[in-house]
């Protein structure tokens, strides 16, 4: 059964945009017709697919409006595309505003269009606490035909916070194993001026406060006291200059490399020895999964969806948020024992294959679509 699927996401760098785009590509490879409906081109859609279409949402600024009506422009674009292309369903990523826009589009097109909403985190963990948005998020969830969330923890948090009368199913994030696997990138390691005997610790994020990059830097300080190591900080965001100052202050300038935003992260993961993700809120932690797929063990905080990704004592360790000493102890444990490191590395690759493979996640979404649309 081949379906016509509209996909809406925030196409900026971030886990939800990556997953929405990767899912669209995988669905297209299975023969489904995919229509991305968003304000700009999803960022990882870098080549031409004959069955992927892109419909840009344009927001006009009329003088009668004090604010550009993005939500309404998106809803009418969804309705227009759904009608013209005879879409079977809209799969939207983020409840606010996308699920609500999809609901409007459904009502505008005669009610037969199905809506699948995937919750990625911020819509619940941040917006869910805003009483002025609470009812709207719940409305978006309850107005969807099916709702998924990227971790058990996010499902639970959604029920606790919003108490929606709707079943929410966990469908984990995934990585494309054709891209994320361990390659020989030792040459690249040398180009960064990192010597063979130095361990490489990597952190990838959007450098927002919630990621607690200061904990990455402070625990690295303790780690490099005991083990020759370099820290790669990848990504960009509001905290970057604060972090540059901290590195300077701690005398780590020669050991911390700020790489900014990067593509082809698999090349960097491939010569890394440890991933640190020490956020205070994280609904999943896609970068952990990407690193694991490249054989990198990890230390993460014991919050949100991270304990569903890292298997403590097998693929890495969990520490309490902000417990720098424990984080450093766990990191040193992995980095100082080659045998343990190898075991964790192999276990990481296996865990991704067993629980987060693209094909198994793709099948779960396809099954969900089939249940909604029936057999055509």
Residues that bind ligand U5P (CB under 6 A): 13-15, 18, 204-205, 234-235, 261-263, 265, 284-287, 290
Q: Quick one: 33 or 266, whose CB is closer to ligand U5P?
A: 266
Given the structure tokens 């994280």, which residue do they identify?
Answer: 282
CB of 277 to ligand U5P, least distance (A): 8
The CB-nearest residue to ligand U5P is 15
Q: Quick one: 18 or 78, whose CB is closer to ligand U5P?
A: 18
CB of 125 to ligand U5P, least distance (A): 12
Cα angle at 201 between 197 and 202, to 5 degrees? 140
CB of 174 to ligand U5P, least distance (A): 11
Name every residue whose Cβ is closer than 8 Å to that of residue 201 and which is 6 or more positions away in sequence: 220, 223, 229, 230, 231, 232, 272, 273, 274, 275, 276, 331
Q: Quick one: 126 or 340, whose CB is closer to ligand U5P?
A: 126
CB of 16 to ligand U5P, least distance (A): 7
Q: Quick one: 85 or 267, whose CB is closer to ligand U5P?
A: 267
CB of 305 to ligand U5P, least distance (A): 10
Q: Quick one: 128 or 285, whose CB is closer to ligand U5P?
A: 285
Token readout for 129 is 């606490």
CB of 19 to ligand U5P, least distance (A): 8
Q: Quick one: 207 or 317, whose CB is closer to ligand U5P?
A: 207
d(CA 128, CA 150): 16
């Amino acid at each position: 059964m081949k379906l016509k699927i509209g996909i809406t996401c925030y196409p900026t760098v971030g886990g939800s945009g990556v997953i929405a785009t990767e899912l669209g590509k995988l669905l297209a490879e299975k023969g489904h017709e995919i229509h991305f409906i968003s304000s700009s081109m999803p960022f990882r859609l870098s080549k031409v697919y004959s069955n992927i279409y892109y419909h840009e949402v344009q927001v006009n600024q009329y003088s009668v409006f004090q604010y550009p009506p993005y939500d309404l422009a998106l809803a009418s674009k969804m309705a227009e595309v759904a009608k013209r292309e005879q879409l079977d369903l809209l799969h939207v990523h983020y409840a606010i505003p996308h699920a609500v826009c999809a609901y409007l589009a459904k009502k505008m097109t005669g009610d037969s269009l199905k809506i699948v909403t995937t919750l990625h985190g911020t819509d619940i963990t941040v917006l869910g606490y805003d009483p002025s948005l609470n009812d709207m998020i719940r409305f978006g969830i309850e107005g969807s035909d099916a709702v998924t969330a990227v971790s058990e923890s996010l499902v639970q948090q959604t029920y606790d916070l919003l108490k929606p009368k709707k079943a929410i199913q966990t469908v984990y994030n995934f990585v494309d194993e054709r891209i994320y696997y361990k390659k020989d990138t030792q040459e690249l390691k040398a180009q960064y001026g990192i010597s063979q005997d130095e361990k490489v610790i990597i952190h990838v994020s959007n450098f927002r406060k919630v990621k607690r990059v200061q904990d990455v830097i402070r625990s690295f300080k303790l780690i490099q006291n005991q083990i020759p190591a370099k820290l790669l900080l990848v990504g960009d965001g509001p905290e970057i200059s604060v972090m540059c100052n901290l590195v300077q202050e701690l005398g780590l300038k020669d050991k911390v490399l700020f790489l900014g935003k990067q593509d082809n992260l698999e090349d960097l993961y491939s010569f890394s020895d440890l991933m640190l993700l020490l956020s205070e809120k994280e609904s999943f932690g896609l970068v952990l999964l990407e690193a694991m797929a490249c054989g990198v063990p990890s230390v993460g905080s014991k919050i949100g969806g991270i304990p569903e990704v890292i298997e403590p004592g097998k693929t890495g360790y969990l520490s309490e948020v902000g417990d720098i000493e424990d984080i450093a102890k766990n990191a040193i444990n992995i980095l100082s024992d080659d045998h343990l490191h190898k075991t964790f590395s192999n276990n990481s690759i296996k865990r991704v294959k067993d629980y987060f493979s693209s094909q198994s996640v793709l099948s779960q979404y396809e099954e969900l679509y089939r249940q909604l649309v029936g057999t055509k």
